[in-house]
Amino acid sequence: MADPPPARGAGRARAVWQLLVGPPRPVGRGTAKDRITPIEGLSALSLDALTSVAYGPEAIILVLAVAGAGALHLVLPVTVAIVGLLAILVFSYRQVIDAYPMGGGAYAVSRANFGAHTSLVAAAALVVDYTLTVAVSIAAGVASLQSAFPGLAGATVPLCLGILLLITVLNLRGLGETARAFLLPTMVFIVGLLAIIAVGLVHPLGLGQAPLGTSQLPTTGVKAVTFLLVLKAFSAGCSALTGVEAIANGVPLFREPRVVRAKRTEMLLGLILGAMLLGLAVLATRWNIGPRTGQTVLSQIMAMAVGRSWAYYLVSVTITIVLALAANTSFGGLPVLASLVARDNYLPHFFSMRGDRQVFSNGIAVLAVLAGVLLVVVGGNTNTLIPLFAIGVFIGFTLSQAGLVVHWRRQRPPGWRRRAAVNGLGACITAVATVVFLISKFTEGAWVVVIAIPAFIVLFLRIHAYYERARALLAFDRTPPKPEPKHTLVIVPVNRVSRLTEHALCEAESLGQEVVAVTVVLRDGDEGNRWAERFRRQWRRWDPGVPLTVLRTEYASVVHPIVEFIDQMRAERPDDQLVVLIPVVRPDKLRYRVLHNQTDLVLSTALRSRDDVVVARVSTPLEPVGGMTGSPRERRTERTRPGNR
Write the secondary structure of 147-174 as one string of H (helix), E (strand) and C (coil).
HHCHHHHHHHHHHHHHHHHHHHHHHHHC
Distance, in Å, from the CA atom of 363 to the CA atom of 372, rounded to the nearest integer, reads: 14
Q: Is the dihedral of CA 407, 408, 414, 419 positive or negative?
A: positive
Q: Is residue 308's pLDDT more than 50?
A: yes
Share of the chain above pLDDT 70, in %: 85
Q: Is residue 7's pLDDT more than 90?
A: no
Predicted confidence at residue 194, as pLDDT, reads 92
Q: Is the dihedral of CA 112, 113, 117, 119 positive or negative?
A: negative
Residue type, 260: V
Beta bridge partners of 553: 522
For 318, how many CA atoms within 13 A lie in the half-sphere containing its CB?
21
Distance, in Å, from the CA atom of 84 to the CA atom of 234, rounded to the nearest integer, reads: 12
Residues 259 and 98 sit within 8 Å (Cβ to Cβ): yes
In sequence order, what DSSP letters do the residues of 307-342 get, joined into one string?
-SSHHHHHHHHHHHHHHHHTTHHHHHHHHHHHHHHH
443-464 mean pLDDT:
88
The DSSP 8-state label assigned to residue 254 in this structure reads B
Predicted confidence at residue 636, as pLDDT, reads 41
Residues 126 and 396 sit within 8 Å (Cβ to Cβ): yes
Select from 620, 618, 619, 609 the least CA-distant residue to 642: 609
Q: How confident is the model at residue 11 (pLDDT cuts 50, 70, 90)?
A: low
Predicted confidence at residue 1, as pLDDT, reads 36
Residues 205 and 283 sit within 8 Å (Cβ to Cβ): no
CATH of 34-470, one of 1.10.1750.10, 3.30.420.40, 1.20.1740.10, 2.40.50.140: 1.20.1740.10
Higher local confidence (pLDDT), 84 or 220: 84
Distance, in Å, from the CA atom of 262 to the CA atom of 264, rounded to the nearest integer, reads: 5
Distance, in Å, from the CA atom of 509 to the CA atom of 547, rounded to the nearest integer, reads: 12
424-448 mean pLDDT:
82
Give the domain ranges of the chain.
34-470, 488-634
Check whether domain 488-634 has CATH 3.40.50.620, yes or no: yes
Q: Is residue 597's pLDDT more than 50?
A: yes
Cis amide linkage into residue 642, ω under 30° from 0: no
Give the tens place of pLDDT for each residue, 514-530. 999 999 887 666 777 78
Mean of the per-residue pLDDT values for the chain? 81
Predicted confidence at residue 14, as pLDDT, reads 63
Classify 580 as helix, strand or coil.
Answer: strand
Predicted confidence at residue 643, as pLDDT, reads 34
Catalogue the E-assigned strands of 496-637.
514-522, 548-553, 577-586, 613-621
Residues 494 and 549 sit within 8 Å (Cβ to Cβ): no
**Range in 372-386, 557-571, 590-604, 610-624 the model is least confident about:** 590-604
b/e for 417-436, b at 16 or more Cβ within 10 A?
A: eebbebbeebbebbbbbbeb
Beta bridge partners of 490: 515, 579
Q: Is residue 108's pLDDT more than 90?
A: no
The DSSP 8-state label assigned to residue 391 in this structure reads H
Q: How confident is the model at residue 630 (pLDDT cuts 50, 70, 90)?
A: very low
Q: Which residues does 259 contact at the CB level (< 8 Å), separation at least 6?
A: 97, 98, 101, 251
Give the DSSP H/E element, type plus range, for residue 250: none
